[in-house]
């Protein structure tokens, strides 16, 4: 296990919950948290942590603001709107952090104003860097309050000169009074306006607004557990419920008969379809629907599934979903959860619907923050 490193911003920056605990203690705490919530339903295997739990974030964000006359970039102090300028963050990708530092220098030298939330004046709101950890492609997104971006061409030329590793630069316009970082309009200033990454041997396209797991190494560990738990033989009909851009279903497709991905967000479904096509996967298709309604409809049409994988948001799933799922009669269910508390609540619904939790595996995707992923296998008992 790696030596412990010290963060200079403990208790000031709201970006993570790094404290005085060692990573080993943190992992033990996460294991206990999972056991407390689901230990009465099934065996909980030892958590998979990171060997080196630092600099793992492939998506790095900073907000611009002024400290006296100088522009700085950083994170909000927990619970406030004061900016803590951040250098050498222990969980962010180092290359991304270096690009942000250069961008701040350039913005100061070109005297471009940071946006002020109170007065609504100024230009620069946020900077977001996304990196394909396996392709090494890097996207820089500059979020401005309106379409104007003074010294845009010089800024882009200089940033590229100092960081030739950047593969695309995008201006995102966010004129809304909102806590969301990105607005809807993206203007590529250099390159294609997106990057690609390879995950579980598959190629994914990532746009500024796409959802993509922020810890690539641990995502692969998580999906591997989910695939093992599904025990596919090549014949099964698999439903990937809450599928996002289709990553889990696509990683299972070569081992299944066919996969149906179900997702509510229209843009995510478009990305999922494009991703299946660019990887030549023909036995998967995506449905833009509510997962509960879709399975209810399947059962009304006398359709069945052999395996259901679900990866719901932190709020978990619902009793209605579990009842609808039981009607398509899968013999195995793989629940990928990002919140042990809602997982514990949901296992009770599964029990009532005739599904028994067999085994669970924790995977730590977010070292130094109070989030943990769990894969839980359930089988049908009646």
Pairing outcome for strands 355-363 and 43-48 = parallel
Task: Work out whether 264 is an interface residue with ligand SAH (CB under 6 A).
Answer: yes
Least Cβ distance, residue 104 to ligand SAH (angstroms)? 31
CB 368 within 8 A of CB 16: yes
Site string for ligand SAH, 294-323 (x = CB under 6 A): -----------------xxx----------
Question: Could you confirm whether 243 is annotated as catalytic?
Answer: no
Q: Tell me the C-alpha to C-alpha distance, in Å, between residue 346 and each of 233, 296, 370.
A: 28, 18, 20
Q: Which of 13, 16, 243, 338 is catalytic?
A: 338
Q: Return the number of the residue (249 or 367) whose C-beta is nearest ligand SAH.
A: 249
Counting contacts by CB under 6 A, is residue 268 touching ligand SAH?
yes
Selected binder of ligand SAH within 65, 74, 132, 244 (CB under 6 A): 244
Contact 243, 259 (CB under 8 A): no
Shortest distance, position 219 Cβ to ligand SAH, whole Å = 7
What SS3 state is found at 152?
A: helix
* Spatial CA neighbour of 9 closest among 90, 68, 70: 90
Q: Which is nearer to ligand SAH, 31 or 213 (CB)?
A: 213
By beta-carbon proximity to ligand SAH, the closer residue of 200 and 264 is 264
DSSP calls for 79-131: TSS-EEE-SS-SSB-HHHHHHHHHHHHHHHHTTPPBP-TTT---SEEEEEEEE
Report, in Å, the least distance between residue 360 CB and ligand SAH.
Answer: 17
Q: Does 242 interact with ligand SAH (rule: CB under 6 A)?
A: yes
CB-based contacts of 213: which residues, under 8 Å, 6+ apart? Answer: 199, 219, 247, 365
Rounded to a whole number of angstroms, the minimum distance from the CB of residue 380 to ligand SAH is: 22
Dist CA 244 CA 248 (whole Å): 9
Q: Tokens in use for 283?
A: 């036995």
Shortest distance in whole angstroms from residue 12 CB to ligand SAH: 30
- Rounded to whole angstroms, the Cα distance separating 261 from 241 reads 6
At its nearest, how many Å lie between ligand SAH and the CB of residue 206? 11
Residue 131: which of 70, 84, 198, 79 has the closest Cα? 198
Tokens of 236: 């099964």
Please identify, using beta-carbon distances, which residue of 54 and 242 lies nearer to ligand SAH: 242
Candidate ranges 126-134, 186-194, 263-271, 365-373; the one touching ligand SAH (CB under 6 A) = 263-271
Q: Which is nearer to ligand SAH, 104 or 226 (CB)?
A: 226
Q: Which is nearer to ligand SAH, 211 or 370 (CB)?
A: 211
Question: Does residue 271 touch ligand SAH according to CB under 6 A?
Answer: no
Could you tell me the smallest distance in angstroms from the CB atom of residue 11 to ligand SAH? 30
Residue of this chain nearest to ligand SAH (CB atom):
244
DSSP 8-state code for residue 14: S
Q: Which is nearer to ligand SAH, 262 or 378 (CB)?
A: 262
Distance of alpha carbon 23 from alpha carbon 43, whole angstroms: 23
DSSP per position, 24-42? HHHHHHHHHHHHHHHTTTS
Fill in the per-residue mask, 117 to 146: x = in contact with ligand SAH (CB under 6 A), - = not in contact: ------------------------------
Residues between 180 and 239 that touch ligand SAH (CB under 6 A): 211, 213
Other Cβ atoms within 10 Å of 370 Cβ, number: 11
Which tokens belong to 170?
């995008």
The residues carrying an active-site annotation are: 338
Q: What are the residues binding ligand SAH (CB under 6 A)?
A: 211, 213, 242-244, 247-248, 262-265, 268, 290-291, 311-313
């Amino acid at each position: 296990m790696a030596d412990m490193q010290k963060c200079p911003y403990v208790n000031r920056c709201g970006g993570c919950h790094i404290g005085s605990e060692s990573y080993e203690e943190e992992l033990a705490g996460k294991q206990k948290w999972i056991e407390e919530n689901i230990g009465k339903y099934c065996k909980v295997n030892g958590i998979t942590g990171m060997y080196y739990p630092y600099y793992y974030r492939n998506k790095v964000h900073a907000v611009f603001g002024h400290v006296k006359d100088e522009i700085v970039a950083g994170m909000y102090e927990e619970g406030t709107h004061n900016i803590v300028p951040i250098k050498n963050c222990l969980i962010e990708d180092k290359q991304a952090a270096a690009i942000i530092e250069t961008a701040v220098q350039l913005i100061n030298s070109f005297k471009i104003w940071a946006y002020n939330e109170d007065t609504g004046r100024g230009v620069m709101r946020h900077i977001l860097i996304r990196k394909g950890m396996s392709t090494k492609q890097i996207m820089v997104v500059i979020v401005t309050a309106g379409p104007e971006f003074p010294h845009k061409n010089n800024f882009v030329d200089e940033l590229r000169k100092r960081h030739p590793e950047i593969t695309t630069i995008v201006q995102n316009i966010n004129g809304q009074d909102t806590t969301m970082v990105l607005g809807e309009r993206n203007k590529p200033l250099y390159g294609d306006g997106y990057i690609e990454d390879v995950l579980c041997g598959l190629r994914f396209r990532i746009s500024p607004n796409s959802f993509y797991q922020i810890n690539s190494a641990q995502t692969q560990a998580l999906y591997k557990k989910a695939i093992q738990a599904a025990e596919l033989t090549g014949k099964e009909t698999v439903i990937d419920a809450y599928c996002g851009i289709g990553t889990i279903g696509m990683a299972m497709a070569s081992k299944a008969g066919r996969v149906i991905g179900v997702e509510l967000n229209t843009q995510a479904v478009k990305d999922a379809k494009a991703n299946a096509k660019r990887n030549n996967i023909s036995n998967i298709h995506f449905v833009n629907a509510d997962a509960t309604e879709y399975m209810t409809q399947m059962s009304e049409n006398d359709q069945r599934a052999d395996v259901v994988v679900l990866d719901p948001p932190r709020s978990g799933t619902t009793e209605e979903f579990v009842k609808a799922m039981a009607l398509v009669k899968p013999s195995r269910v793989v629940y990928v959860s990002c919140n042990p508390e809602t997982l514990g609540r949901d296992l009770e619904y599964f029990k009532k619907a005739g599904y028994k939790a067999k085994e669970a595996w924790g995977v730590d995707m977010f070292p130094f923050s109070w989030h943990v992923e769990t894969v839980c296998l359930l089988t049908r008992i009646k």
